[in-house]
Structure 1
Amino acid sequence: MAVGRLSTVRRRAARSFALLAGCALVSLAGPVTAQAQDGPPKPVVLHCPALLDSVAGKMLGPTSVVIQGERVVEVVPGTVTRADAEVVDLAGETCLPGLIDAHVHISSEFSPTVYSDMLHFNLADWVVRSTVWAKRTLLGGFTTVRNLGDSHYETVALRDQINKGWVPGPRILTAGPAIGSTGGHADDGDGLRMDLQPDVGAHDSIINGTADAWKAVREHYKQNVDTIKIMTTGGVLDLSGSVDNSQLTEEETKALVTAAHEYGYIVGVHAHGAEGIRRAVVAGADSIEHGTFMDAQDMKLMKEHGTYYVPTIYTGTYVTEKAKGNPHAYPPAVQAKALLVGPQLMKTVGDAYKAGVKFAYGTDAGVYPHGENWKDFPLLVQVGMPAIYTLQMATINAATLLKKDKDIGSVAAGKYADIVAVPGDPTKDITLMGKVDFVMKGGIVFKKGGAEQVFTSTAH
């Protein structure tokens, strides 16, 4: 699917917009006041009537989680009381580790005007909006996201400003711009008249050959990204005609993955077509995103290589239903592709689960509205996954894929105090994942009793 990078107009916008907007315009993200802290923070004890043990894949009974600062220090069965601690009683709730979405586009969001917006908005416009989308994502219970594609490294700036406490949002692991080939899904010139098609190269994340592949990865390293995203096949929302044709050679794919791993990055691969999936898996990619036309050979190879599948299942259904409901929902080339993917993706995900492929949760949010990241859960259950496995996908599985399982993905001593809660048992009613009413990230409560808490900046 993939929103991918937006227009060349955005790419050419001054890079300083991204740096300035995150700092100077924080008031648009909600109330912000300076915070003074005298001495160590007071311990917090969460009383959870039920707690998901994401590692064991089971629900625990009443449990107390003791938190000091941004980390969990103790997880104790039953109800613990401490005179020196603030107690948060989550009666009637099920507690879960902070949710992880391994595939978002947090600095863009599709709308009926998005193609014209690309010509009129500056990068700063998207950056300011991204602060709102980041907060919506966090309040939906997703305390960590992997951003797989932006325009000009603006999500590096967003990540940094969130980490510094200027604006509220999830932990972001960002890939910067996705890397693809000339005329491919990452090429913003697709579908434009010739005088608007730029001559782009590795510096712009467009490669042709293995030398370009190494240069593009090195440029991403220079810009301080956390991960790498590559495009081995066509996609839905670009203005070209194919969703599944291969767009990187075996040699180019191998070079990109090898270079990324050399620099310590995990690699997520946008791939709809079976051959593009095969090339990515054989090259050693860490995850396949979308995988719409994955075949039995691909599934076998993914099991052999330990490759994760991030299916973005709701996005497939979303674009298909939108195209069915409105013949003018998308430009003609996009409309035709959108009608193909939904039903096929539902079948593929069910088949891959039965085949024993490993899954991590990812949504492609940005294709549909941010904050609705929970909507993949019901469809995953619909194709045959146990509800508790879908919760593992969005916690320990995603954390393991991202190589962050020492810090996130489960509620355990030493890990970040990233904890969310829903009113009831989501293993019995998975739609409760759309009703997250308590959100704690790094020991700070952002939502309680269903109400957003006033954000207090921790920046200095």
Structure 2
Amino acid sequence: MVLRVRGVVLPEREERSFWIDGDRLRTDPVPGAETVVDGGWLLPGLVDVHTHPGTERRDPTERGTDLFSDEVLRRHLTDHRDAGVLLVRTPGTAARIPDWVEHDPELPRVRSAGRWLATPGRFFPGFGRDVSEADLVRSAVEEAQASSGWCKVIGDWKYDQPAVPLELLVAVVEAVHAVGGRVAVHCQTAEGCRNAVLAGADSLEHGMHLDPGLLDRMAAQGTALVPTLGVFGAGEERRRAAEPSAARDQWLAGWAGLPPGVRAAHEAGVTVLAGTDSFPCGTVAGEVGWLVRAGLPVAAAVGAASWTARDWLGLPGLVDGGPADLVAYATDPTLDAAALAHPSRIILRGRVIA
């Protein structure tokens, strides 16, 4: 059965009709097609570019890949899908995403980065893949080649400990790029952010204490910023209530500077993307709201969780021959981002989900 959808396509803001043939969008009319969307606003499927499905984040002292299960992975991805999130990037998991996920027509498309790569003292021990600094380059290439072409390096950890050395991170990025891969770097300290940018990383995850003087370089070399504002904002009250300490003060200072830093990054031409890094899954609409509050124009914030993110991950938007992944809304989400939480129709791989 061929399906037909009609609506105002974003970001172009043009009314169009598409016919869905299999899992592809077509612009040539097909007589007798069943109309499943007739009016409203059409977005390419939503995207969460920083999510960790498959692992229930409970007590960090619970170590190892036993935290990861196919059952939890399917549940998390289903939660994403039911919220209109039809593409996710997983920058690090406790175990590699299994191959069956990409072939399941009921689940979102996944771009994975293999296991977190953590050098000594820079992550929860045993939670990802613990490697020595001497083995980091080789391990990064292995994870990129065993996943969707991404690897994730824990570039720093505690505020009073050194970040991964710049020369080592440069070697990681060069080696992974040489095999066609891309590098995401966790960074929450000024040194960690600096090293990630100077090394030419493809994305900074979090970006606390990011020096504004690095933004032009980020924009020029295509390093994206994934600030995960919502997960930090949710933890602010708990941090403020904690006993005074240098670590607490550093965190609060980093959080205070993050929203204005995100706005400055956007204004400098850096690609800012929406990632939740939190549970429950399927809440990227809330992250878009945080981006708006940080000062991004509403359309840019929506794009950070839709067309901009899909393009950055190598997928087209709503075009002839493109993937039949779309979400319809009764009202224009680029005027009010809160509309993202209320899709009227979800279509994944050419199948009507809701």
TM over 0.5: yes
Q: Does 1:52 align with 2:10?
A: yes
Out of 305, 325, 335, the position equivalent to 1:394 is 305
Out of 96, 103, 108, the position equivalent to 2:55 is 108
**What corresponds to 1:31 in structure 2?**
none
Among all aligned residue pairs of Structure 1 and Structure 2, give the percentage whose two residues are the same amino acid: 26
**What corresponds to 1:230 in structure 2?**
153
By how many angstroms is 1:432 displaced? Answer: 0.9
Out of 132, 138, 145, the position equivalent to 1:207 is 132
1:307–1:224 CA distance, 2 compared to 1 (3 A): closer
CA deviation profile, 1:284-330 (whole Å, cap 9, x unmatched): 21111111111122213212322111121112212224545x759xx
> 5+ unaligned residues in a row in structure 2: which ranges?
none
Q: Does 1:277 align with 2:193?
A: yes
TM-score by length of 1: 0.70
Amino acid paired to 1:445: V
C-alpha distance in structure 2 between counterparts of 1:186 and 1:263, whole Å: 28
Out of 80, 90, 93, the position equivalent to 1:147 is 90
Contact preservation (8 Å) 1:186, 1:231: no
C-alpha distance in structure 1 between counterparts of 2:340 and 2:118, whole Å: 34
C-alpha distance in structure 1 between counterparts of 2:117 and 2:17, whole Å: 45
CA deviation profile, 1:55-74 (whole Å, cap 9, x unmatched): xxx422x3211111101111
C-alpha distance in structure 1 between counterparts of 2:248 and 2:70, whole Å: 28
C-alpha distance in structure 2 between counterparts of 1:120 and 1:206, whole Å: 14
Q: Does 1:441 align with 2:352?
A: no
C-alpha distance in structure 1 between counterparts of 2:177 and 2:64, whole Å: 37
By how many angstroms is 1:336 displaced? Answer: 7.1
C-alpha distance in structure 1 between counterparts of 2:321 and 2:247, whole Å: 47
1:354–1:313 CA distance, 2 compared to 1 (3 A): same
CA deviation profile, 1:210-263 (whole Å, cap 9, x unmatched): xx12321243256444311112111xxxxxxx2475421112101111121122
Q: Which structure has the larger Rg over C-alpha atoms?
A: 1
Amino acid paired to 2:70: V
Q: How many residues align?
A: 353
C-alpha distance in structure 1 between counterparts of 2:71 and 2:246, whole Å: 30
Tell me the SS of whatever aligns to 2:6: strand
Contact preservation (8 Å) 2:144, 2:150: no
Contact preservation (8 Å) 1:319, 1:338: no
1:434–1:181 CA distance, 2 compared to 1 (3 A): same
Out of 335, 338, 345, the position equivalent to 1:428 is 335
1:161–1:333 CA distance, 2 compared to 1 (3 A): farther
Contact preservation (8 Å) 1:110, 1:369: no
**What corresponds to 2:170 in structure 1?**
254
Tell me the SS of whatever aligns to 2:291: helix
Q: Does 1:69 align with 2:22?
A: yes
Contact preservation (8 Å) 2:159, 2:247: no
C-alpha distance in structure 1 between counterparts of 2:160 and 2:85, whole Å: 30
Tell me the SS of whatever aligns to 2:43: strand
Divergent runs of 4+, >6 A: 332-337
1:222–1:64 CA distance, 2 compared to 1 (3 A): closer
**What corresponds to 1:132 in structure 2?**
75
1:188–1:297 CA distance, 2 compared to 1 (3 A): farther
Amino acid paired to 2:66: N
**What corresponds to 2:118 in structure 1?**
180
**What corresponds to 1:319 in structure 2?**
235
By how many angstroms is 1:333 displaced? Answer: 10
C-alpha distance in structure 1 between counterparts of 2:225 and 2:60, whole Å: 29
Tell me the SS of whatever aligns to 2:153: strand
> 5+ unaligned residues in a row in structure 1: which ranges?
1-41, 190-199, 235-241, 448-460
C-alpha distance in structure 1 between counterparts of 2:173 and 2:194, whole Å: 13
Amino acid paired to 1:136: D
Contact preservation (8 Å) 1:177, 1:205: no
C-alpha distance in structure 2 between counterparts of 1:302 and 1:224, whole Å: 25
**What corresponds to 1:419 in structure 2?**
326
Contact preservation (8 Å) 2:223, 2:271: yes
C-alpha distance in structure 2 between counterparts of 1:352 and 1:224, whole Å: 29
RMSD: 2.7
By how many angstroms is 1:120 displaced? Answer: 10
Tell me the SS of whatever aligns to 1:179: strand
Contact preservation (8 Å) 1:109, 1:370: no
CA deviation profile, 1:336-389 (whole Å, cap 9, x unmatched): 77655443322221222233322222222xx33211121111121112211111
Amino acid paired to 2:36: V
**What corresponds to 1:238 in structure 2?**
none
C-alpha distance in structure 1 between counterparts of 2:74 and 2:207, whole Å: 30
Out of 217, 240, 254, the position equivalent to 2:140 is 217
**What corresponds to 2:31 in structure 1?**
83
Out of 355, 377, 398, the position equivalent to 2:268 is 355
